[in-house]
Amino acid sequence: MARKKITIIGAGNVGATLSQRLAEKELGDLVLLDIVQDMPQGKALDILEAGPVYGYNTKITGANGYEETKDSDIVVITSGVSRKPGMSRDDLLQINTGIVKGVTENIAKTSPNAILIIVSNPLDAMTYVAYKISKFPRRRIIGMAGILDAARFSAFISMELGVSVENIHAFVLGGHGDTMVPSTRYTTIAGVPVEELIPQERLNEIVERTRNGGAEIVNLLKTGSAFYAPSAAVVEMVEAVLKDKRKIAPCTALCEGEYGINNLFVGVPVILGSNGVEDIFEIKLNEKESVALQKSANEVKQLCNKVDALLGL
């Protein structure tokens, strides 16, 4: 069976760590692309040389141009500037719109059938940029954020209760910003609603920490943003697609009426399979959750309006 081809655009912390994780899992052959001369080639070779020790046979190539990425099955876009302490993700809108636009134009030409996974920030708006520029069908444009946010929520609950992360099913909706909606009602521990195990006041603090999870890392690192958990989240998505798992996971997807949201990319539970977003998984929200999701969607909408202006749409 021919191996799948996965391209990672951007060989910074997220791109390089993602390449390492994907190589170790032998999910396909990899191309790591960056505009910096020699750097992606160096990182790719280094990861390749770890293969004999770790026992993987993944082929990985570094590249500065798009020729090597031709006919990729999956392309992960991590390119762009990351925020510094004191900045919000939205402060990156202008600069990263230009970067994601340029990358997407190239990818749409060289890998017209690829599934795109977007990681650049502000996430929901950058996913929209990739959609508008590539003109790919909605099922092939997916933003990575919900799995990361849910992982943070799970990690904090695990620390609070002293139970395995494997027992926790955290549920997060909305944009990947300060208005994201971690749902305590649908978050369960071994099937038991978390609201029965942690007092509401304490849960509110955990929800707040989850919302600020990205900023917490930025403030600690000082010169960049998180990359271990984000890259792990992308691996889960790539694996679900390549193995056609039909896995339900929170991802940024184009809603066309689902959850009462129209023509907007926002974080919702989706079914991930070989076609990308196979479907959006709709569940009932109560009044409070619906209002919170709508608020978050409105914030994403404002950013997308700014993107339209930047792209001249």
- Our CB check for ligand LMR shows the closer of 183 and 225 to be 225
Strand ranges of the sheet holding 168-173, from the earlier edge strand across to the other edge = 168-173, 181-189, 192-193
Catalytic residue list contains 169: no
Residue 5 makes contact with ligand LMR by CB under 6 A: no
219 known member of a binding site: no
Write out the binding residues for ligand LMR, residues 86-125 only, by CB under 6 A. 89, 121
Q: How far is the CB of 62 from ligand LMR (least distance, A)?
A: 24
Using a 10 angstrom Cβ sphere, with 0-12 exposed, 13-18 middle and 19 or more buried, the burial of residue 164 is exposed
- Our CB check for ligand LMR shows the closer of 5 and 176 to be 176
- Our CB check for ligand LMR shows the closer of 31 and 144 to be 144
Q: How far is the CB of 127 from ligand LMR (least distance, A)?
A: 12
Which part of the chain contacts ligand LMR (CB under 6 A), choosing from 130-138, 209-217, 233-241, 246-254?
209-217
- Our CB check for ligand LMR shows the closer of 62 and 250 to be 250
Active-site entry in 176, 251, 297, 300: 176
Which part of the chain contacts ligand LMR (CB under 6 A), choosing from 68-76, 99-107, 198-206, 218-226?
218-226
Strands 29-33 and 5-9: parallel
What's the full length of the chain, in residues?
Answer: 313
d(CA 69, CA 28): 13
Q: Which of 226, 261, 285, 293 binds ligand LMR (CB under 6 A)?
A: 226
Residue 218 makes contact with ligand LMR by CB under 6 A: yes
Residue 217 makes contact with ligand LMR by CB under 6 A: yes
The single-letter code of the amino acid at 80 is G
| Extended strands (E) in 56-215 | 60-63, 74-77, 115-118, 141-143, 168-173, 181-189, 192-193
Joined tokens for residue 33: 């692309």
Residue 83 makes contact with ligand LMR by CB under 6 A: yes
Name the residues that contact ligand LMR, by CB under 6 A: 82-83, 89, 121, 148, 176, 213-214, 217-218, 225-226, 230
Q: Show binding-site residues for substrate.
A: 83, 89, 121, 152
